[in-house]
Amino acid sequence: MAGKYNLKKSKNGKFSFNLVAGNGQVVLTSETYNTKASATNGIKSIRKNCQDDSCFDRKVAKNGKPYFTLKSTNGQIIGKSQMYSSNSSMEKGIRSVVTNGPDSVVDDQTKG
């Protein structure tokens, strides 16, 4: 199964998306956007920037768990990963974004 972007609309009318790997695991969660068009632009930004390793910011949370953010070339955070149990797991997550980010389809769950 290929990866995909799940585009959602929250109860408060805001939009967000998750990049889901082929195994069903969420590998990146977007920021919250005011409009669907902005969220769609966020997906385009991930597709563009996920091939540039310098756009990945590897971090450690207060609880000591590693995670990463993906930034656009202007430095704005586009998405954030889950917390990982190890640095090697985090690097696998980054590789999954690199693999799935450019070509994954958008599953628009905002309709209906």
pLDDT tens digits for range 42-99? 999 999 999 999 999 999 999 999 999 999 988 999 999 999 999 999 999 999 999 9
Residue 44 three-state SS: helix
Split at pLDDT 50, 70, 90, the class of 111 is confident
Phi, then psi, of 15 in degrees rounded to 5: -120, 150
Judge whether 54 and 71 are in contact, CB under 8 Å: no
pLDDT beyond 70 at 5: yes
pLDDT beyond 90 at 26: yes
First to last CA, the chain: 25
Distance in angstroms (rounded) separating the CA atoms of residues 112 and 108: 10
Residue 4 three-state SS: strand
Q: Domain 4-108 is in which class? A: mainly beta
pTM: 0.92
